[in-house]
Amino acid sequence: MHKLGNNESQIRFIEQKAREIRIDIVKMTGKAGSGHPGGSLSAADIVAALYFGDVLRVRPGEPDWPDRDRFVLSKGHAAPVLYAALARKGFFPVEWLDTLRQLGSPLQGHPDCKQVPGVEVSTGSLGQGLSMAVGMALAGKLGRKDYKVWVLLGDGECQEGQVWEAAMAASHYKLDNLIAIVDHNGLQIDGKTEDVMSVDPLGDKFKAFGWQVLSVDGHNIPSLMEVFGQAMGVKDKPTVIVAETVKGKGVSFMENQKDWHGKAPDAAQLEQALKELTAV
């Protein structure tokens, strides 16, 4: 097991960053009048722990550092959570967040690696991110690099067949430098994943494909830090972390509501969301 720092002050710091990221998400989507707040909010704790828990080895001032860890947001519609984390980490000015989805802005509705520092690959066509992450991990192995490749998928996204082709390849090549996280919030744009096309039991499926399977409460920072450390210590096989989350987490009227998959808050809703997120 790889030991990560998990002291009380660090946990509070990560939790504060997750709160800031959630505030950024609702502000961005509210100002833009469009976007995907639900699945961005559900992933906020996961992304905050990765970027602010010293899990990812990255250099904001040198985003193309060859030995950096790679993070792939396969569920590319959740771009607001990634943009917020990158801005808060120092990859680009926080002021950019005010331009989400505006004409001429680098912050498009889905991440563009040619315009946004820190974005590894352009994503948004669901099911492709894990394949790209497999390629990065395999390149790392062939190049004798010690970087890790992390990829965040949605549970609804796991309905895509390409995910399972990539899962099979990752196991075949024993890519122990590849760690996938599934944001298991149980909802997609058309409703419950179990009703649209059940993907459960996800852990058993990945295990059958030869992966190490871990599970975690995706909103518990100490648990996330512990499971990330476990994943980083796995040898000879890829690892998947099934993170149990709540869609729209942190905003009461968005939680567990499929309608907030791809709908922005209006002025009154934004005010209410910010009131809840800024409450001590």
Q: Which domains does the chain have, with CATH numbers?
A: 8-278 (3.40.50.970)
| DSSP notation for the chain | -------HHHHHHHHHHHHHHHHHHHHHHHHHT-S-HHHHHHTHHHHHHHHHTT-S---TT-TT-TT--EEEESSGGGHHHHHHHHHHHTSS-GGGGGGTT-TT-S--SS--TTTSTT--S---STT-HHHHHHHHHHHHHHTT----EEEEEETGGGGSHHHHHHHHHHHHTT-TTEEEEEEE-SEETTEEHHHHH---SHHHHHHHTT-EEEEEETT-HHHHHHHHHHHHT--SS-EEEEEE--TTTT-TTTTT-GGGSS----HHHHHHHHHHHH--
d(CA 60, CA 118): 7
Tell me what pLDDT residue 123 has: 98
Tell me what pLDDT residue 230 has: 97
253 CB-near residues (< 8 Å, 6+ apart): 269, 272, 273
Tell me what pLDDT residue 165 has: 98
d(CA 261, CA 38): 5
Taking only the tens place, the pLDDT of each residue in 75-116 is: 999 999 999 999 999 999 999 999 999 999 999 999 999 999
Tell me what pLDDT residue 280 has: 62
Mean model confidence pLDDT for the chain: 97
Taking only the tens place, the pLDDT of each residue in 153-188 is: 999 999 999 999 999 999 999 999 999 999 999 999
pTM of the complete model beyond 0.85:
yes
Tell me what pLDDT residue 36 has: 98
Tell me what pLDDT residue 2 has: 66
d(CA 179, CA 239): 5
Tell me what pLDDT residue 3 has: 63
Taking only the tens place, the pLDDT of each residue in 189-234 is: 999 999 999 999 999 999 999 999 999 999 999 999 999 999 999 9
On whether the CB atoms of residues 83 and 116 are closer than 8 A, the answer is yes
Q: Which two tokens stand for residue 170?
A: 């990752």
pLDDT tier at 4 (50, 70, 90 boundaries)?
Answer: confident
